[in-house]
Structure 1
């Protein structure tokens, strides 16, 4: 191992790693008063699987962004010393949700890495986050995301790459052109950012889009425009992309996770 490699390894080990998990949504199609992320998968509130994956990937601190049913989430993690809460009073988009965690991370070093994950994705795997973090640090990136290539990309943000194959931007389905909607590489919402770059860019995110919301995905374009490095890696298995928006999908995800833990499927 060269001195340069040793230095790089030590530098990465010294960098902090925290996670912000978005858990404020109501999930109106779930036909329940429970917050969406509190519905159970394999007997546990689904957000627990995301918290576990972040911990297993090395996050020393976890900030849950809560809103609807906030007290239920506070009680769920009342004994978790590594979990803090930020409140999103109004649902103004994913970028706005992450911005609500800024105060919680005020004591975190500017060079720390921050996972940004969704609390309704219990199929997440620690090894996927390890791959994401490894690329992020290897590229010295300001922002990195893990992508997936799926057969039915409708509803997902599309990954737009430049002529060199580098990440250019992420376009939400509602805002995508017909050509962009033909892209099969999608955004499953697994992100890693350098802390200072994340919050600097969030302050510049606007809401001039079809939903009138502040998108976390716009951070990548802003970082790229300012000359910062952004990266993307196809690391999310297609079967892990299934989102939970209703009770049918909840049952499907439960069955997938049960089969995985029983060793029936990888």
Structure 2
């Protein structure tokens, strides 16, 4: 049910220079989706009456993600006046005139802050009489953070920034997490008092807390259970740390749902992946994007699946696959490379050192090893011999090959597309197939083998090969005649 008295402001205007990246910080992927998408999902889960997202740097890129993930959010462009206080000031101005509830301010670079934590935070604020409430935490290392200073009785007194803190204040381990909840009337009143009269020339949201205290208003601080929940991302090292923590949570969630993960430390699962009970993931496995794995499937070791569909009881071993479908009971690998639009039918096989692309391989058909299958369809129950190449490109355009059902092709074939091989046909080893083959026919290249007796002795006299040939037993020696 919508919380009619809640508005959320998402701060997403920062430049994120410490990422040292051409990609905006908030658009860096985390568990398969942009950092800011995690925050927007949390905002959506809280079901607030209004959500306002403040953007500035790379405005259009961020606005596009917001529009896709949370289309009901109002997008506000921060003007030339810098600072979080100014961002909130503009966001508040965008709220409907008749709204008079609470305003929750969250940061777009704090992706692990979940809806349950914020719901508890909101409830705590509303149970008291505070005009503002600060979310706090107790990290292992408080260096660099503003400290929460409390009275002897334990009530919130003030926030002291690291650079302004005394030695006694630096010893405090409770820090400001940068998440705030205000009553709108009190927030509006104090936002109007903010100035840029400081060394950085910015309007700081933390100054609102000080102004509320000066005005005699009550402010409270509510700590989170675990500091990692409010960890922000400012550089790629912090992104890596957050990714590792989030992945551990995702992996554990799937384990509790009935998935066997043999080595959680080397297994990565994206947020959008879907795994059934009794799936087994072996070490070194990455389940990327919207990959779906059905019950009984075994994936890994050393396998990466991107946006794939894996059927029941399928087996995928040491394989890299993208936009591929592997149906029930099929097996893939080891060392296979499945490119987009590969479909392997039920109980089929793609074996060692096989590459496929835009290939539909029917139920029970096999491409056992050392082959390339591109732009092709293979019917049911067929076997493609080792070392077969589907020559699909003529230097200008790609062409399609159609292999029928119950076809047996010899080793080291080349199929020069476009061709069709009919149902039940055979091809001989080493055949280059340039013309279509009728159903039930045998295709071979009619080039008889020629043996040139004595060639080694005539052309390589005195070599080890010559000596071995001269000393080789004759057919009469072998038969004892």
Q: TM-score, normalised by structure 2?
A: 0.50
**Structure with higher strand content:** 2
- Provide the residue aligned with 1:61 in structure 2: 50
Aligned residues: 253
**Structure 1 residue 197 displacement after superposition:** 1.0
Instruction: Tell whether the 8 Å contact from 1:201 to 1:219 is kept in structure 2 after alignment.
Output: yes
Q: Which residue of 2 aligns with 1:78?
A: 67
2:80, 2:237 → 1: CA distance?
A: 27
Q: Name the CA distance, whole Å, in 1 between partners of 2:142 and 2:168.
A: 13
Q: What's the RMSD between the two structures over aligned residues?
A: 2.2
1:58-207 to structure 2, matched below 5 A, reads 58-79=47-68, 80-90=70-80, 92-110=82-100, 112-207=101-196
Match in the other structure for 2:39: 50
Tell me which of 224, 233, 248 is aligned to 1:235.
224
Q: Which has the higher helix share?
A: 1
Superposed counterparts of 1:250-265, under 5 Å: 250-263=239-252
Which residue matches 1:34?
23
Aligned partner of 1:218 among 207, 211, 232: 207
Query: 1:208: Cα distance to partner?
Result: 4.5
62 and 109 in structure 1: CA distance in 2 versus 1, 3 angstrom threshold: same
- Structure 2 SS opposite 1:263: helix
What is the deviation of 1:251? Answer: 1.4
Does the CA contact (< 8 Å) of 2:137 and 2:227 recur in 1?
A: yes
Larger deviation, residues 81-90 vs 24-33: 81-90
**1:236 Cα deviation after fit:** 4.8
Distance in 2 of aligned mates of 1:142 and 1:87 = 27
CA distance in 2, matches of 1:36, 1:90: 20
Report how far residue 222 of structure 1 moved: 1.3
The runs of at least 4 aligned residues of structure 1 exceeding 3 Å deviation read 206-212
Q: CA deviation at 1:189?
A: 1.2
| TM-aligned CA distance change 1:171 to 1:214, over 3 Å | farther
- The aligned counterpart of 1:3 is none
Unaligned regions of 5+ residues in structure 2, if any?
257-481
* Change in CA separation of 1:108 and 1:166 when aligned onto 2, cut-off 3 Å: farther
Distance of aligned partners of 1:73 and 1:38 in 2 relative to their CA distance in 1, 3 Å threshold: same
Measure how far apart 1:24 and its partner are.
0.6
**Does the CA-based 8 Å contact 1:170-1:218 persist in structure 2?**
no
- Distance in 1 between residues matched to 2:98 and 2:205, nearest whole Å: 20
Deviations 1:177-204 (A, max 9, x none): 3322221100111211111211211111
* Residue pair 1:51, 1:62 contacting (<8 A) in 2 also: no
CA distance in 2, matches of 1:57, 1:14: 8
- 1:22 Cα deviation after fit: 0.6
Deviation, structure 1 residue 108:
4.7
Whole-angstrom distance in 2 between the partners of 1:195 and 1:173: 29
1:208–1:153 Cα change, 3 Å: farther
Question: Structure 1 residue 250: deviation in Å?
Answer: 0.8
**Aligned residue in 2 for 1:5:** none
Aligned mates of 2:225, 2:94 — CA distance in 1: 28
- Cα 1:108–1:174, aligned 2, differ >3 Å: closer, same or farther? farther
Q: Give, in angstroms, the shift of residue 243 of structure 1.
A: 2.2
Larger radius of gyration: 2
- Answer yes or no: is 1:20 the counterpart of 2:20: no
Q: Could you tell me whether the CA contact under 8 Å between 1:175 and 1:209 is conserved in 2?
A: no
3-state SS of 2:203 partner: coil
State the structure with bigger RCO (CA 8 A, min sep 6), 1 or 2: 1
Q: Distance in 2 between matches of 1:65 and 1:176?
A: 31
The farther-off stretch of 247-256 and 91-100 is: 91-100
Partner SS for 2:231: coil
